[in-house]
Structure 1
Amino acid sequence: MKDELRDKDMPRDEDIKEQDQKSDDESQMDPQPIYDNTTHRGYGRLKDKVAIVTGGDSGIGRAVSVAYAKEGAKVVIVYYDSNDDAEKTQEIIESYGGKCILMNGDLGESRFSEEIIEKTMKEFGRIDIIVNNAAEQHPQESLLDITDDQLERTFRTNIFSMFYLIRTALPHLKEDASIINTTSVTSFRGNPVLLDYSSTKGAISSFTRSLALNLAEKRIRVNQVSPGPIWTPLIPSTFSGDDVKNFGKDVPMGRPGQPVELAEAYVFLASDGSTYMTGQTLHINGGDIING
């Protein structure tokens, strides 16, 4: 596994020139992200639990969905429109004997959250884990370039969706349920060309801490994972070729992370190994020291 990460940890210059910079399909990425540790078959840490993973079709969400299935969870994969990626993730899960269902739609619309919860309860009869991972970003050099439509769209997808989904799921969550939100290193140190995206990630951090306090008496835990530079479809689909070539080189480990390198953090936060953690952040960023 370590050799595989070393071999694929940086996209090569010739690959960057060839791949479609506008595509957000994981199948179009070269090199392909590493989403699964094939030598690890799971320990049953999430046996019989039901998890909803937004953005579960690709990137970090795919890695989390596969890891959850290998630990015994049934997974509801929520995604926007990348049907091929979602079906590939489902195929991987089923190859391990896992069970999952796919739901596509716009998380920025509250009605879709109602559909997700209704179908999850109909199919599986319970909800134990919610991973709010779906996000979008649109780099702009100046605040003057961020339109009203972009601003609203980014907030709807990245933070409004979390309110919608958890609000709808809450009546079905029981003691020991776990909510895990994906924030970002940009929440803590900012980013000059991701003003609206970074702002949503800051909102997620505040939301995580506040919701953890709000739900503590119900014994529902709320934590977040803060990724640094991770090689996912979001990167080549939104950044220039030069930016992609240098992606991740500025962290102490000198490379971008792979989605599989975050999956275990999400398993830990969903499992009985983290029963005394709520309102906390796990930073997985290649060595950046972040206070917060």
Structure 2
Amino acid sequence: MKDNEMYTPDDIKGQTQTQPGRESLMDPEPIYDDTNIKGFERLKGKTAIITGGDSGIGRAVAVAFAKEGCNVSIVYNIADNDANITKASAEEYGGNVLLIKGNIKDSSFCNDVVERTINHFGGLDILINNAAEQHPQENIEDITDEQLDDTFRTNIFSMFYMTRSALKYLKEGCTIINTSSVTAYKGNASLIDYSSTKGAVTSFTRSLSANLAGRKIRVNQVAPGPIWTPLIVSTFDKAKVDSFGADTPLKRPGQPVELGEAYVFLASDSASYITGQTIHINGGHIVNG
């Protein structure tokens, strides 16, 4: 897919939503599928859990995995319509999809996600810890205890919960892929708590990879920059949405479809000697991390 097929900042002006954002209400909607890529059975017969799989990056990953022959459990919280669209899109490529609705802040729900996946598909090979929330605040004094707790529970506690449950079934050759962020490396003045959780995700990825190396379970992460997803239009004001992505070297926001292949690669046998690493997809920011 060529750069000139992607949206410029001018294309996305004039839009905000209340939380939680809905991909189906975005105009223009994010690009999550490159129909020119048909898949090469790189994940054939495998099963993946994707948190936050109903929209944004998670949707792109779910569709990309389905193209590669992977069974997918899509974990989501509220947006039923978005989840059903993702399910239908994955099924167009022959994917087998299980939708699981609930709140990953709850460790018991995370246990249930894994058990339902095992019962439905008979196994688990790939865990994608992707779900996140953010709440911009101009001053640290404006970050309430409740916001701090919610952000950390969704963005990093859930990764502990999901991984802990999944490891009962993951075996040699299985993979865990976490979604970090460019903010973990360069910070963000109005996303102090969010950036802190993404720093924790990065440390979690590196530490977990070392811990699981002996079991030959690989752990890596993708660190996105400004990507056009429902999280953006539901958390930033109009002025920030209007200029979203313009400060990158490529002068535009990224699209979810531009991340899908990175997750496929890290989940596939082609990445068999890669663990504890980060793929930066951020429009050209050099972060040296």
TM-score category by the smaller chain?
Answer: over 0.9
Which amino acid in the other structure matches residue 186 of structure 1?
T
CA distance in 1, matches of 2:49, 2:172: 17
Q: 1:62 aligns with which of 54, 59, 63?
A: 59
In the other structure, the counterpart of 1:180 is 177
Higher relative contact order (CA 8 A, sep 6+): 2
2:71 aligned partner: 74
TM-score, normalising length from structure 2?
0.97
Could you list the per-position Cα deviations for residues 148-207 of structure 1 after superposition, in whole angstroms to 9, with x for gaps in the alignment? 000000000000000000001101001000000000000001000000000000000000
Q: What RMSD in Å do the two structures reach over aligned CA positions?
A: 1.2
Give me the identity figure in percent.
Answer: 60
Amino acid at match of 1:28: L
| TM superposition shift of 1:20 | 3.5
Question: Which residue of the partner structure matches residue 244 of structure 2?
Answer: 247
Letter in 2 for 1:244: V
- Aligned twin of 1:161: 158
Distance 1:206 1:22 in 2: 28
**Cα distance between partner residues in 1 of 2:245 and 2:16:** 18
Partner of 1:168, secondary structure, is helix
Work out the number of aligned pairs and report it. 289
Partner in structure 2 of residue 216 of structure 1: 213
* TM-score, structure 1 normalization: 0.96
- Does the CA-based 8 Å contact 1:225-1:281 persist in structure 2? yes
Find the aligned partners of 1:286 and 1:234 in 2 and give their Cα distance. 18
Contact 1:8 1:31 (C-alpha < 8 Å) held by counterparts:
no
Q: Distance in 2 between matches of 1:235 and 1:18?
A: 10
**Helix, strand or coil: the match of 1:175?**
coil
1:276 paired residue among 239, 253, 273:
273
Alignment of 1:9 with 2:15, yes or no, is: no
Q: Which amino acid aligns with 1:10?
A: T
Q: CA distance change for structure 1 residues 284 and 190 in 2, over 3 Å: closer, same or farther?
A: same
2:100 equivalent to 1:103:
yes
CA deviation profile, 1:221-272 (whole Å, cap 9, x unmatched): 0000000010000111000111011111111111000000000000000000
Aligned in 2, Cα 1:18/1:178: closer, same or farther, shift over 3 Å?
A: closer
Aligned to 1:287: 284
Give the letter aligned to residue 46 of structure 1: L
| CA apart distance, 1:21 | 5.1
Output the CA distance in 2 between the equivalents of 1:118 and 1:21.
33
Per-residue deviation at 1:39?
Answer: 1.1
Gaps of 5+ in 2: none
Q: What residue identity is the alignment partner of 2:269? A: D
* Mapped partners of 2:9, 2:87: distance in 1: 26
In structure 1, what is the Cα distance between the partners aligned to 2:217 and 2:202?
17
AA partner of residue 284 (structure 2): G
Paired residues of 1:53 and 1:61 also in contact (CA < 8 A):
yes
